[in-house]
Amino acid sequence: MNVVISGASKGIGRAIAEHFAAEGANLFLCSRNMDKSVDWQQQLMKKYGINITTFNADLSNAAEVQSFAAQLLKATDQIDVLVNNAGNYIPGSVYNEPEGQLEEMMNLNLYSAYHLTRALIATMINKGSGHIFNICSIAALKAYANGGSYSISKWALAGFSENLREEMKAFNIKVTAVHPGATLSSSWDGFDIDPKRIMEVGDIAKMIIAASKLSAQACVEEIVIRPQLGDL
């Protein structure tokens, strides 16, 4: 099995990579700084006997998305799972956040997934199977304080997921929107958070692995996972 993960160098993306590695999947990983995690990659390859191919790219830049996709398709013509995880959270309010914040959030949180999916999906269509996971957010389900443009971009990603799911039914390609609540990752750096109030990145990864193992007849359309004590 070949798995492509964007935003894979840390946080949720890194946890997803580790869990797919444990399943014996070959990994194709992309982030701005994949070259800073060489030791981690080598440990996974040695432990699980898998292959890992990495790419450095800023996926908020459409040209770099296309370059990454072209390099990836030279490395393999089979993609079984695509995880669109690249994203960032910048708090703010629509009425007073800095000019350009909406564009910044849309470029990384929506357009990266849109362009990467379009560039790679033909490989899944040609073989008549595949699974795409889009890492959305509970901020795509309801409005939150300081959501601002981040929330707007994640609502858009959820809409993209829903439309793509409908389009891909005829090709036996599954699309799952993943809506994590507060998860301990770099997005929360600088915040004083009680560990009991925030989820582990492995929680998200385990749900994705479970969804990927269902029969061809079944598709988990959405995964909504929140801290046990509720949203922050």
Residues spanned by the domain of 135:
2-225
Q: What pTM value is reported for the model?
A: 0.95
How far from the centroid of its chain's Cα atoms is residue 220's Cα? Answer: 16
Domain count, the chain: 1
Tell me the per-residue pLDDT of 50-66, one tens digit each, with 9 for 90 and over: 999 999 999 999 999 99
Dist. CA 16–CA 20, nearest whole Å: 6
pLDDT value of position 184: 84
Dist. CA 8–CA 68, nearest whole Å: 14
Judge whether residue 93 has pLDDT over 70: yes
Asked, for residue 171, whether it belongs to a domain, the answer is yes
Asked, for residue 29, whether it belongs to a domain, the answer is yes
Length of the chain: 232
Judge whether residue 207 has pLDDT over 90: yes
Judge whether residue 177 has pLDDT over 80: yes
Q: pLDDT > 70: what percent of the chain? A: 97
Asked, for residue 121, whether it belongs to a domain, the answer is yes
In sequence order, what are the residues at sequence separation of 6 or more whose Cβ sits closer than 8 angstroms to the Cβ of residue 101?
90, 92, 148, 149
Judge whether residue 190 has pLDDT over 80: no
Asked, for residue 149, whether it belongs to a domain, the answer is yes
Asked, for residue 138, whether it belongs to a domain, the answer is yes
Asked, for residue 147, whether it belongs to a domain, the answer is yes
Per-residue tokens: 159: 């809409």
Angle formed by the axes of helices 62-75 and 112-127, nearest 10°: 30
Q: Say if CB 197 and CB 182 are below 8 A apart.
A: yes
Tell me the per-residue pLDDT of 212-224, one tens digit each, with 9 for 90 and over: 999 999 999 999 9
The DSSP code sequence of 78-103 is --SEEEE---------TTTSPTTHHH
Asked, for residue 20, whether it belongs to a domain, the answer is yes
Asked, for residue 41, whether it belongs to a domain, the answer is yes
CATH of the domain at 218: 3.40.50.720
The values of phi and psi at residue 37, to 5°, are: -125, 35
